[in-house]
C-alpha cells in the first residue's frame, strides 16, 4: 500500500495551490488539511518548526517544507506516476529553476501590497509586478519555443509556479483598481493564463479572483482583531 | 570533444566558491574568468542580464545563473562524471535543498554586516549568524547520521553550500572581533569545517580568512571611490 500524502495549508495561498496542482498532475491522491484563518495548527507548527509556514507536504508522516522544494520532491518521489514536472534536459531544468525563483522573488511582495495585506505604494507595486511579468513574457518565449506552455507541450514546473499566482493577479486588479496581467503589455502571458486555468490538472485549484477578494477582507479583519487583542 | 566550461566570478564570493568546488568534485575541467573589483565585465552583464551578478557558469557558451541552480545543473549535466552532489533519495534531496536555501537566507546578510560591507549592528548580526549555525548543527545531526559530512560518507550539496561560507566566518570573526563559528556553541559544525577544508575537492578553493580580510579593505576602498566619483 502506498504511504498517505497530506497537504497542510490554505486554499488561498499560491504556495499551497502549486503543491496541489503538482500532485494532481502526478495523479497522486492526497488529503487536504485546511488551516484556520489567523491560527496555526499544532501539526503545521510541529511539521515546519523553522519557518512555521504553509504549505507542508506530509508523505508517510515525513514533512517536506518550502513550496519549490516540495514541487521537486513530488516530481522525484512519484517519478513513475503521471507527467514529469521538470523538463528532462539539464539546461532546461536550470532555466525553469532560475525563473521560478525569479517569479517568487519579484511577484509575491508587491502582490501583497496591491491586495492591501501590507502597506506600501500601490502604483509602485503594480509597476513592479508589470516589470516582472514583462520579463516572464520573455522567459515564456524562450521556454515554450512556440508551444502552449512554459513546459512546452504540457504544463511543467514554471507553469505551476507562475500559474499559482493567477488568482492573485485578478484579486489585486480588483482591490487596487490597477491593471496587473495586462493583455496589452504581456499578450502571450495573458493568453497562457487562460490556457493554464483550463488545463485538466488545474481546474478549480487556482482560486477565483472574486473569492480571493472576499477572503482578503476576512483575513484583514482577523489580523486587525489579533493586533487589537494584544496587550 | 566536450564543450568548454567557464566560471565567471570572483575568488572571494562564497557563491562562486561553491560552483568551483562542485566542478572539482565532478572532475570537470574549467576556465576561471576573474572579475575585476568594482567593475562588471561585458561577459557577466550579457550572460546574466536579469541580476547582473556572479557567478555565471558558461557551458558550451550557454549561461547558467544563480549558484544553487548552477550546483544542480553541474550535478545533472555531468551526471556520469565524478561524485554525485545531491543524495539519490528524494526525501534526502528535499532536506538538502531546504537547508541550503535556509543557509543562504540566514547567513549572507549578517556576514556582510560583520565584515563591514554594509551597515547594521554587529553584535546583533553575530547573534543572527550564531542562531543560524545552531540550527544548521541540528541539521548536520539529521543529515549526516553520524557520518563525517552533511552528505554522509562524502561531501554533498549542503556541505558545499554551507562550506562556501567558512572563509567568511573567519574573516567576520577577525573584522568584528566577535565569535562566529564557535566550538563551544556548535562543536560538530566546527569539527566538520576543519574536515571540509581538508577534503581533496575543496583544498584552496575556500579562501583564507586573512586574505578575505585584506580583500575586504580593497573592496571597501573601491566602493568608497565609486561613491565619491558620482556626480
pLDDT tens digit sequence for A25-46: 999 999 999 999 888 999 999 9
Contact at CB, B98 and A69, closer than 8 angstroms = yes
**What are the chain B neighbours of A72 within 8 Å (beta carbons)?**
93-94, 97
Q: What integer pLDDT is reported at residue A75 of this predicted model?
A: 98
**A vs B: CB pairs below 8 A:** 56
The pLDDT confidence band at residue B37, using thresholds 50, 70 and 90, is: confident
Is it the case that residue A85 has pLDDT exceeding 70? yes
CA neighbours closer than 13 Å in the CB half-sphere of residue A185: 14
**How would residue A62 be classed by pLDDT, with cut points 50, 70 and 90?**
very high
A191 CB near a chain B CB, below 8 Å?
no
Number of CB atoms found within 10 A of residue B50's CB:
14
Instruction: List every span in chain B annotated with CATH 3.40.30.10.
Output: 5-77
Return the residue matching grid coordinates 525563473.
A99
Domain with CATH 1.20.1050.10 in chain B: 90-212
Mean pLDDT confidence for B23-48: 95
Decide: helix, strand or coil at residue B141: helix
The mean-pLDDT minimum among A36-45, A89-98, B118-127, B216-225 falls in B216-225
Give the DSSP per-residue string, B18-72. Answer: HHHHHHHHHT---EEEEPPTT---HHHHHH-TTT--S-EEEETTEEEESHHHHHH
- In angstroms, the Cα distances linking A104 to A148, A204, B25, B206 are 22, 22, 31, 30
Cis peptide before B55 (omega within 30 of 0): yes
Confidence of residue B188 (pLDDT cuts 50, 70, 90): very high
Q: Alpha-carbon distance B203 to B147, whole Å?
A: 20
B98 and A135 within 8 Å at the Cβ level: the answer is no
Q: Do B69 and A98 touch (CB under 8 A)?
A: yes
Sheet of strand A31-34: strand arrangement? A31-34, A5-9, A56-59, A62-65
pLDDT at B32 over 90: yes
Task: Please give the pLDDT value at position B223.
Answer: 78
Would you tell me the crossing angle of helices B90-114 and B122-144 to the nearest 10 degrees? 160
Q: Report the number of secondary-structure helices (H) and strands (E) in chain A.
A: 9, 4
Quote the pLDDT of residue B230.
Answer: 63
pLDDT at residue A116, as a whole number: 86
Does the beta-carbon distance from B73 to A66 stay under 8 Å? no
**Interface predicted TM-score (ipTM):** 0.95
Place of cell 565619491: B228
Cα–Cα dist B92/B95, whole Å: 5
**Per-residue confidence (pLDDT) for residue A229, from 0 to 100:** 72
Query: Which of B50, B94, B102 is facing A135, going by the closest CB pair?
Result: B50
CATH 3.40.50.720 is the classification of domain B90-212: no
Q: Inform me whether the C-beta atom of residue B101 falls under 8 Å from chain A C-beta atoms.
A: yes
Beta strand B31-34 with B5-9 is parallel
pLDDT at A1 over 60: no
Q: What is the pLDDT of residues B54-78, one digit of tens each?
A: 999 999 999 999 999 999 999 999 9
Over 60: is that where the pLDDT of A88 sits? Answer: yes
Q: How confident is the model at residue A230 (pLDDT cuts 50, 70, 90)?
A: low
Tell me the pLDDT band of B117, cut-offs 50, 70 and 90.
Answer: confident
- Residue B74: the pLDDT is 98
User: Per residue in A195-228, pLDDT tens?
Assistant: 999 999 998 999 999 999 999 888 888 878 877 7
Region A154-178 average pLDDT: 95
Residue whose cell numbers read 539539464: A90
Mean pLDDT of A156-163: 98
Cβ atoms of residues B8 and B43 within 8 Å: yes
CATH class of B5-77: alpha beta
Provide the pLDDT for residue A24.
95
Secondary structure of residue B152 in the 3-state scheme: strand
With a CB cutoff of 8 Å and minimum separation 6, the contacts of B85 are: B22, B25, B26, B71, B72, B74, B75, B156, B157, B160
Express each pLDDT in B195-229 by its tens digit.
Answer: 999 999 998 999 999 999 999 888 888 878 877 77
pLDDT value of position A183:
93
State which residue of chain B sits closest to A105, comparing Cα positions.
B51
Amino acid at each position: 500500500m502506498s504511504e498517505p500524502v497530506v497537504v497542510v495549508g490554505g486554499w488561498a495561498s499560491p504556495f499551497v495551490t502549486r503543491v496541489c496542482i503538482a500532485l494532481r498532475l502526478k495523479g497522486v491522491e492526497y488529503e487536504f488539511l485546511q488551516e484556520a484563518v489567523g491560527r496555526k495548527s499544532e501539526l503545521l507548527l510541529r511539521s515546519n518548526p523553522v519557518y512555521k509556514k504553509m504549505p507542508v507536504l506530509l508523505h508517510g508522516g515525513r514533512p517536506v517544507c518550502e513550496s519549490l522544494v516540495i514541487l521537486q520532491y513530488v516530481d522525484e518521489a512519484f517519478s513513475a506516476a503521471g507527467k514529469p514536472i521538470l523538463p528532462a534536459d539539464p539546461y532546461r531544468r536550470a532555466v525553469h529553476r532560475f525563473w521560478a525563483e525569479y517569479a517568487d522573488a519579484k511577484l509575491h511582495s508587491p502582490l501583497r501590497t496591491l491586495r492591501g495585506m501590507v502597506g506600501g505604494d500601490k502604483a509602485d507595486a503594480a509597476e513592479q509586478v508589470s516589470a516582472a511579468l514583462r520579463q516572464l513574457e520573455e522567459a515564456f518565449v524562450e521556454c515554450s519555443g512556440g508551444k502552449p506552455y512554459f513546459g512546452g507541450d504540457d504544463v511543467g514546473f514554471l507553469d505551476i509556479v507562475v500559474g499559482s499566482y493567477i488568482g492573485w493577479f485578478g484579486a489585486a486588479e480588483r482591490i487596487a483598481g490597477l491593471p496587473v496581467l495586462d493583455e496589452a503589455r504581456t499578450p502571450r502571458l495573458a493568453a497562457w493564463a487562460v490556457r493554464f486555468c483550463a488545463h485538466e490538472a488545474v481546474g478549480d485549484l487556482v482560486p477565483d479572483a472574486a473569492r480571493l477578494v472576499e477572503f482578503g477582507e476576512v483575513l484583514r479583519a482577523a489580523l486587525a482583531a489579533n493586533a487589537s487583542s494584544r496587550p
